[in-house]
Structure 1
Amino acid sequence: MAGAQGSWTGGGLTVRELLRPKHAARAVFHPAWIPDSLDPAVEQLKKARLIAGTVAAVGVYTFVEGGFAFDEVLENMLTASAVLLFITPLTVAVMLSVWRRGGTVRALKVQLLNSLKLLLLFVGSVVVTVLLLQNASGFGLAVLPLGCAALWMVVFVARGAVHVSGNFFGTAGVHRCLPPLLATVTSWLMAIPDLVTGDLHGLSLMMGVVFILGAPVTVTGIALLEAQRLRRRYGIRLGAHPATLPRVPVPPPPMPPAPPGGAPCVPPQGNPPGSPYGGPYAPPRGNPYATPYPAPQGTPYPPPQGNPYGRPHGPGPNGR
């Protein structure tokens, strides 16, 4: 599968890593086209939002009641997947209608399709996992391979849920404020039906309100902090079309680690090897005006021999 910025897995997934559900979930549910976090503070807020969202998905009331039913967990997984499959495209469609004022939606087609693929992959993985867990024991001799496949899928989906809760199906590739918005909408949508129907799962009114509303309120607060930091530090606003947002500078790549037992990597100092000069500004060695070729034998214009002012040879004008 190809993404907006290259292959889906980045081209670094081997067959050996694919057999490990942790690595496979990382490659599938956090593909290479999802942009990295802008700064460590935003990443910490995402982790806090992930924890609060997990509490909202599992339900604190389950531990308070003391009744952990496995069949109920599987049903909740299917219900949560159906909610995600419905509410995520609906929320994105509402934001697309808002962004039409600042630009066209066609420019976001590739990012939107990639996010939809990621959503369908996760929902499909959840459905397959639930079916394997419910029906693995009814296949006779095939129960062993199906059981191994079911365990692999459980780890794969659990690890994938961590990734998609952080990037929320790659919607950060569309707009960096979409993940906190979708996390807020989803957590409230999962909590409001219990309040409306009065199904407090055996808890008193006060305890039911506290435990049911505690997670969505926490998710909303963290999401607001995340969106506020994106707006103040980077000028990224939720209501602005992604094409109109300021370009965020890409952080420089990290320095390579130092070799074990050696000094850290530093740029070379002085002149490169083989330089004819001793230093950066040292003059060349030897006499720069020396004759580059062997001197000719003899002198073409030798000086006169003897005293140039002496008496010339032969008799003078007076015959002496």
Structure 2
Amino acid sequence: MAFGGQGPYGAGNPYGPGQPHGSGSPYGYGPGTPGGPGGGPGGYPPDGGNPYGGGPHLPPRPPVPPPYVPPPRPTLRQQFRADEWPTLRRLLHRTDLNGCYLLPLLMCCTPLLLLVLAYPVARSARRQARTAFPADLHRHPYDPEVWRVQKLRAWLALAASLAILVAYGTGEDWSEVQDQFLLRVTITPWLLLLTAPVVILVLLRLAPDAARPGMRSRLRPPVRMVFWYVGSFTLVPLLFAGVMLLSETYQGRIWAPFLTMVLLAPVLWMLCFVGFGSATVVRTAFGTSAVHAALPALLTGVLVWELAAVNLVATGMPPGPPLVQVLAVFCGPLSVTGVAWWEIERLRTRHGVRLRA
């Protein structure tokens, strides 16, 4: 109702005289008034108090979250060292190989073409090998100082072997290095399979009667890994023999070479599976640290002498004078045995692990 053409609070202003239009508050301050009590923005006091007086304080304003910064993109080296290799598409994208240049390059370079075709097979075999033989089966309890000493000993042994070859080696000795490496890679898992049961039986005899049931129950995962490894290792020559038999059966056909390539894919997959599994098996000794913390060190100390004997029988004495030959044969196993016993001593003094417990 208007009185003389004006509102009840003043001419043209429903909030009373002296109040600006659109102040947003009938009390003269509030969210729309910049000069309210306390001088805060929107009329609120800067300390978060109640502008109307009394009552609880208003909750403080939530802080503004920082802007999202995406993590840095891992390099190809980091991806290859991780548990999951990049896919072939991502690998080619990261190497900046365009399809217009890649296809002619693959047609001209047969080894590169075979490598590109074999990469997905190796990637799949590595993923399955990491599932069957987990790479995180470190020795428990994990001692980083022991790990550093082991790596230092390995590098020193490699440097000493190269120094002996450079000083006294001949062309024949250099050609035998590759044969020795392949011999060690091939025979080490089998020696481990033969040695581990003997060492485990000795530990079971040394352990008290109350601890033996628990040790036997913890043997199941290592035994499962042993069956996986032996089965896959045995399948490699069987699959290869089957491929050769089928190739001879269909020899002379036009599509025979393509059939051979397709049939060789399972052989390559199983070979990669065994190769990636062997790296974990040799390093972790089939995860036997779950049975007894000192078991990997004991296996290493016994296995190194067996390898030295096999290497001596297969390749003979190393080059050099008699004193250098004796040192080259015995210093390596002695250093490994010393590090293994030092590890056992640290387990006893730092973690209370005893061979009879």
TM-score range, shorter chain: 0.5 to 0.7
Q: Which has the larger radius of gyration?
A: 1
CA contact 1:52–1:218 (8 Å) conserved in 2? no
Matched, 1:111 2:218: yes
The change in CA–CA distance for 1:187 and 1:72 in structure 2 (over 3 A counts) is closer
Deviations 1:197-222 (A, max 9, x none): 59516745555544443442332233
Deviates more, 1:156-165 or 1:33-42: 33-42
Question: Does the Cα contact within 8 Å between 1:30 and 1:163 map onto a contact in 2?
Answer: yes
Q: How does 1:275-294 map to 2 (within 5 A)?
A: none
Give the equivalent residue in structure 1 for 2:191: 83
2:244 matches 1:127: no
Q: What is the correspondence of 1:267-282 to structure 2 with a 5 Å cutoff?
A: none
Inter-partner Cα distance in structure 2 for 1:85 and 1:181: 14
Aligned residues of 1:45 and 1:226 also touching (Cα < 8 A): no
- Check 1:33–1:85 CA distance in 2 against 1; reply closer, same or farther (3 A cut): closer
Q: 1:54 & 1:77 partners in 2: Cα distance?
A: 16
Shift of 1:171: 0.8
**Contact 2:317 2:329 (C-alpha < 8 Å) held by counterparts:** no
> Are 2:200 and 1:92 equivalent residues in the alignment?
yes
Other-structure match for 1:166: 283
Any idea what the Cα deviations from partners look like across 1:149-175, whole Å, max 9, x if unmatched?
Answer: 333333322322221222211111011
Q: Distance between the aligned counterparts of 2:304 and 2:216, measured in 1?
A: 27
Larger displacement relative to structure 2 (27-36 or 80-89): 27-36
Find the aligned partners of 2:221 and 2:279 in 1 and give their Cα distance: 18
Quote the residue 1:264 is aligned against.
none
Structure-2 separation of matches of 1:192 and 1:105? 33
* CA 78–43 in structure 1, closer or farther in 2 if over 3 Å, else same: closer
| 8 A Cα contact 1:180 1:226, kept in partner | yes
1:85 Cα deviation after fit:
2.2
How far apart in 1 are the matches of 2:195 and 2:153?
Answer: 18
Pairing partner for 1:179 from 296, 320, 323: 296
User: Which residue of 1 is the match for residue 131 of structure 2?
Assistant: 27
What is the CA RMSD across the aligned residues, in angstroms? 4.3
Please name the residue that 2:316 is paired with: 200
Which whole-Å CA distance do the structure 2 matches of 1:46 and 1:168 have between them? 15
CA gap of 1:156–1:46, structure 2 versus 1, over 3 A, is: farther
Check if 1:240 corresponds to 2:356: yes
Shift of the 92–49 alpha-carbon distance from structure 1 to 2, 3 Å rule, reads farther
Higher relative contact order (CA 8 A, sep 6+): 1
Q: How many residues get paired?
A: 221
Alignment correspondent of 1:312: none
Following TM superposition, by how much is the alpha carbon of 1:177 offset from its aligned partner in structure 2, in angstroms?
Answer: 0.9
**Counterpart residue identity of residue 160, structure 1:** G
**Structure 1 208/24 Cα, relative in aligned 2: closer, same or farther at 3 Å?**
farther
Between 1:29-38 and 1:111-120, the stretch displaced more is: 29-38
Pick the structure with more helix per residue: 2
CA contact (8 A) 2:192 2:285 kept: no
Q: Give the distance between the partners of 2:158 and 2:217, measured in 1 at CA.
A: 29
Deviation per residue, 1:30-66 (Å, 9 max, x gap): 27887755343344456568889999xxxx9999723
- Gap change, CA 1:108 and 1:37, over 3 Å in 2: closer
Pairs within 5 Å for 1:249-260: none
For 1:126 and 1:50, locate their aligned partners in 2 and report how far apart those are by CA, in whole Å. Answer: 27
Contact 1:129/1:154, CA 8 A, preserved across alignment: yes
- 1:66 match: secondary structure: helix
Other structure's SS at 1:143 match: helix
Q: Residue type matched to 1:28 in 2? A: A
- Contact persistence 1:48–1:222 (CA under 8 A): no
Note closer, same or farther for the CA distance 1:163–1:31 as it changes in structure 2 (3 Å cut): closer
- Amino acid paired to 1:235: G
Which of the numbers 340, 345, 352 marks the counterpart of 1:223?
Answer: 340
Q: Distance in 2 between matches of 1:69 and 1:143?
A: 33
Cα deviation per residue 1:103-139 (whole Å; 9 max; x = unaligned)? Answer: 3422222211221221232233333335556775554
Q: SS of 1:169's equivalent?
A: helix
Indicate how the Cα distance of structure 1 residues 132 and 217 shifts in structure 2: closer, same or farther if over 3 A, else same: farther
Deviation at 1:185, TM superposition (A): 0.7
